[in-house]
Amino acid sequence: MESVVKQSIESYYKDKKVFVTGHTGFKGTWFITWLHLMGAKIKGYSLPPEESNSFFKTISGKVEFENVYADIRDKEKLQTELESFQPDFVFHLAAQALVRRSYQIPSETFEVNAIGTANVLEAVNKLPGKCTVVVITTDKVYENKEINYHYKEDDVLGGYDPYSASKAATEIVISSFRNSFFNIKNYNVHQKAIISARAGNVIGGGDRSADRIIPDIIRALENNKPIDVRNPSAVRPWQHVLEPLGGYLLAGMLLDIDAVKFSGAYNFGPLPDDHLPVKDLVQTAIDCWGSGTWADKSDASQPHEAGLLQLDISKAEQKLHWRPKLNSNTAIAWTINWYKQQDVFKFTLQQIKNYQKQ
C-alpha cells in the first residue's frame, strides 16, 4: 500500500494546476519547490517575503511558478487570480503565523487567519469546476489544558493567545464552508472538497522568521553568541518541514480521488514518544553545529506560550496511511546541516529527493 501511494503521489501532481497561498513563506517555499520537482503548474499568491535573506528569494528564478504579490484580505484580487487560473488544487498556507506577534497585532491576526480563509473558500465556491482544497491550520487549535494528553481531531477547539484562537476560529470557518457549500452529500453537484491540516511545530532549513526557535538558534550560532531560550522546558511536537508537506500532498491526492471518504481534519506530527522539550532541541542543534552554548531566559512576565502540547496522529496513520519518516533528532540534524551549505538550493532539492526515498 505505502509503495503504491508513494509512486502515485510523485506522479499525481504532474501537470496539475496548483494554487498556493503563502508561497513566499518558509513552508510555502519548500512546498512550491517540491511541486516544481513533481511537474505541477504552480501559481503562488502571497505578500512579498519580509526578510532580505528569505529562502523564497533564493529559489526564485530556479523554480517555475506564476508569482502574485497580493493580500488574501483583498477579496476581488483573490477571486480574479483564482478564476484566471482555474486550479485543480488550492493549498492555503497564507497566515499570520507567529504567536508572539499575535499579541502585538491581535485584530489583524484574526482578520488574516479567519477572514482570509473565508475569502479563499468563498472564491473557491465561485469556481465553476472541480477543485480540491487543503487548508493548513496548526496544532495549536485545541483547547490546550497542558496535561499529558495527545490531542485528537475531534477534541474541543480553543486558544489562549490570539494566534491559537484565530486558528481555532479558522477551523470553524472551514467547518462552516464544508457543511454549507461543500457538503459531501452534494459533492457530485459542486465538486469541491476540503481538508484542514493541523501540523505540529515545523522546523527546517530556510526559516528566517523572528521569534522562532530555529532562526534564533542559527542567528546566535552564526554570531558566536549564546542562544537565548525563552521556554526551555516547553514540550512540542517537532517535525521536519517535509513531513507535514508530504502529508498535505498525500491528503490532497486522496481527497481528489475520493472526497466523500477523506474530507475532514487531520493531525500531522511526530510519533507519540517523540515529543521533545525545547532545551533538548537546542542542545541537539548545538551538537550538530559543532559549537555553541545556550542560556535560560525564562521570564514570567513574557506573553503566555503553551508549556506542553502533544498531537495524536492515529487518524492520519489509519485513514491516509501517513506516518513520519524522520525522528526528532534526524529532523534537527537535517535542519542544522541545511544552514551550513553554500548552495542551499541544490541541498534543498537533495533533501527532498532523500526524503522521498525514505
Cα–Cα distance measured from residue 197 to residue 251, given in angstroms and rounded to the nearest whole number: 9
All cell numbers assigned to 345: 538550493
Question: Is the per-residue pLDDT at 7 higher than 80?
Answer: no
Q: What is the pLDDT of residue 300?
A: 61
Question: What is the band of 10 on the pLDDT scale with cuts at 50, 70, 90?
Answer: confident
Mean pLDDT (whole number) for 315-341? 97
All cell numbers assigned to 322: 501517513
Measure Cα distances from 189 to 92, 105, 130, 182 in Å. Answer: 23, 40, 9, 9
Cα–Cα distance measured from residue 56 to residue 143, given in angstroms and rounded to the nearest whole number: 33
Cα–Cα distance measured from residue 266 to residue 195, given in angstroms and rounded to the nearest whole number: 8
Question: Is the per-residue pLDDT at 91 higher than 70?
Answer: yes
CB count within 10 Å of CB 166 equals 29
Measure Cα distances from 171 to 56, 71, 140, 271, 313 in Å. Answer: 28, 20, 11, 23, 18
Domain 2-209+237-272+310-328 fold: Rossmann fold (3.40.50)
The total number of residues shown for the chain amounts to 358
Cα–Cα distance measured from residue 177 to residue 131, given in angstroms and rounded to the nearest whole number: 14
**Three-state SS across 120-186?**
HHHHHHCCCCCEEEEEECCHHHECCCCCCCEECCCCCECCCCHHHHHHHHHHHHHHHHHHHCCCHHH
Mean pLDDT (whole number) for 126-131? 96
Q: Which residues contact 54 (CB under 8 A, 6 or more apart)?
A: 24, 29, 206, 208
- Taking the model in full, what pTM does it have? 0.95
**pLDDT tens-digit readout, 21-78:** 999 999 999 999 999 999 999 999 999 998 888 999 999 999 999 999 999 999 999 9
Q: Which residues contact 335 (CB under 8 A, 6 or more apart)?
A: 203, 204, 205, 214, 240, 285
**pLDDT tens-digit readout, 70-88:** 999 999 999 999 999 999 9
Question: Is the per-residue pLDDT at 277 higher than 60?
Answer: yes
DSSP state of 105: S
CB count within 10 Å of CB 332 equals 26
CA 5 to chain centroid: 21
Cα–Cα distance measured from residue 109 to residue 95, given in angstroms and rounded to the nearest whole number: 8
Closest listed residue to residue 266, CA positions, set 228, 201, 319: 319
Burial of 303 (0-12, 13-18, 19+ CB in 10 A): middle
Cα–Cα distance measured from residue 98 to residue 202, given in angstroms and rounded to the nearest whole number: 12
Mean pLDDT (whole number) for 126-148? 95
Could you state, in order of their start, the residue ranges of all structural domains in the chain?
2-209+237-272+310-328
